[in-house]
Structure 1
Amino acid sequence: MMTAPGAEIYYEVRGSGPPLLLINGGDGDAAVFGPLADTLAADHTVITYDPRGNSRSRFTGSPAPQWIEEHARDAHLLLDTVAAGEPAYVFGTSYGGMVGMDLLVRHPGRVRALVAHEPFVIDLLPDADEWHALCQEVYELYQQAGTDVAMQRFSAAIGVEGPPPASASGLPAPVREMLARVHANMETCLAYELRSFTRFRPDVDALRTAPFALVAGSEGPETLMHRVTRTLAEHTGSDVVGFPGGHVGFLTHPADFAAALRAALGAAAGTAAPER
């Protein structure tokens, strides 16, 4: 565990080699990255963690609205704890990509390269007000009808399915345990993250010259996540690289995703992809 202002952060470390920090999205935790981290640990020191308020990373004060900048501070503290002074590769998905962007801009000497996977920066969209109104609607649904109803509305609007219930048949015990934690985390996401996180606007000027890459899932229908990623690419002058799977391709296609991630990190850093 790592102590941070207002929270205790649970983290795991695998493998050896250059440090690689994996940053989750809204309701995920370290276990969601388990298959990917196991693969990447062949040539990296892989750091995974539960974001504050999720799973085993508990708030130590009263819960309050969360901000991307606050989570980026946690990521920076984690790098100081695990990676000492060595610059780290960073991968972030969804909200995690936004955390990674803030980390990169504020602490460029600590990030060797960042790959952001479908970052949810809706505040850059020309119709951002409509999407912020949706986030408020989802929050009010959560208050009135509970987590499941609110998440169904949100998932339908953005085109991304939520995780299966922990009670689904045929799941191994560790997967059931992970899904139970993820479903519990949805309450933190809806109550304290959704409306504030989506107000984040990255420093696109700084990202234009940073070791930074944008990637998106290449399987399944076009989603709001794809649209947002393309919009950010236009602002930063970046290309969008197609990655295996959909929004959770790192979980459904871990081996192929790891290969694509190695190549993207190497390209963003201006080096050859690490050898396995």
Structure 2
Amino acid sequence: MSSIAVNGADIYYELRGTGPPVVFIAGATGDAGHFERVADLLADEFTVLTYDRRGNSRSLRPDGWETTSVAEQADDAAALLSELGLAPAAVFGNSYGAIFALDLLLRRPGVVRSAVLHEPPMISVVGDPAAAQAGVGAAIQEGMAEGGPPAAVDRFFRFAVGDAIWDRVPTDLRDRMTSNGETLVGVELGSFESYRPDDSALAGITTPAHVLVSEDSPGYFHEVAAWLAGRVGVEVLRTPGSHTPQFDQPDELVRTVRPLLRVGT
């Protein structure tokens, strides 16, 4: 459990295990704790890196940092891997993290051995983007009205994964996640969803990539997965659980991704 200065930010990270390196990139609220159980399970075979994305939890918000981008987030991951001597690594990205992992494949392939892209919220590729975003927008607005950014995070996750899953998240992690509301609502939300590489760039990816979707996730994530897999030239893979299987189905997620993380070793 340490911090390191990379790409203009102090990034908190955790390392577990030994073996080929794997990095997990979290989505909204960006906390390494999203993958604590998954990392513990995989540490028997891999060196597992998890980290708090910039401006989230223990990676303190840099002075003057008011906006972000897919490229900035991907460059943080690339710099972290390089500085820690872990490149090239297998990369697993969930939600926003899958968008950043995809950008690594396109712009920083030298740090990536293989990638698992789990449910990137690339809303611009679905048939009805407004409908796909409506529920999230309403949840955020309700939370802001009730109690500002922390309540907005609470409402966001209750909408995204359901009350039962959210209520089972450990209290300390849930507290850190809700404390990241200022970053999610004030900086990140709306910065990544329009990301859409052109077809020729996606077809040109040569690093092994896998597109993963959860069985219980809303239909638009399945739509995005089909769109992306078709352009990368792979089949859509499925895993049990919700949009955050690391919370509700961590053991099943590990069974799904373990062989994928071995690719290229």
TM-score (norm 2): 0.85
Q: Rate the CA distance shift 1:30–1:77 in 2: closer, same or farther, 3 A.
A: same
Cα distance, 1:215 vs structure 2 = 0.6
State the distance in 2 between where 1:29 and 1:155 align: 14
1:197 aligned counterpart, secondary structure: coil
The aligned amino acid for 2:80 is: L
Q: Rate the CA distance shift 1:179–1:142 in 2: closer, same or farther, 3 A.
A: closer
Partner in structure 2 of residue 241 of structure 1: 237
Partner in structure 2 of residue 116 of structure 1: 117
Deviations 1:32-65 (A, max 9, x none): 2111101111111110000111100111212412
**Structure 2, gaps ≥5 residues long:** none
State the distance in 1 between where 2:39 and 2:157 align: 26
Task: Give the alignment partner of residue 196 of structure 1, picking from 181, 191, 211.
Answer: 191
CA contact (8 A) 2:6 2:80 kept: no
Q: Percent identity?
A: 36
The aligned amino acid for 1:69 is: A
Partner in structure 2 of residue 62 of structure 1: 64
CA contact (8 A) 2:213 2:239 kept: yes
Partner in structure 1 of residue 99 of structure 2: 98
Cα distance, 1:227 vs structure 2 = 2.6
- 1:264 counterpart = 2:265: no
Partner in structure 2 of residue 215 of structure 1: 212
2:161 aligned counterpart, secondary structure: coil
Partner in structure 2 of residue 16 of structure 1: 18
TM-score (norm 1): 0.82
1:196 aligned counterpart, secondary structure: coil
State the distance in 2 between where 1:230 and 1:195 align: 22
RMSD: 2.8
Task: Give the alignment partner of residue 227 of structure 1, picking from 223, 229, 233.
Answer: 223
State the distance in 1 between where 2:248 and 2:223 align: 22
CA contact (8 A) 2:55 2:62 kept: no
CA contact (8 A) 1:6 1:61 kept: no
CA contact (8 A) 1:6 1:59 kept: no
Aligned residues: 259
- 1:182 counterpart = 2:177: yes
Deviations 1:137-156 (A, max 9, x none): 66665655534664577568
**Structure 1, gaps ≥5 residues long:** none
The aligned amino acid for 2:228 is: L
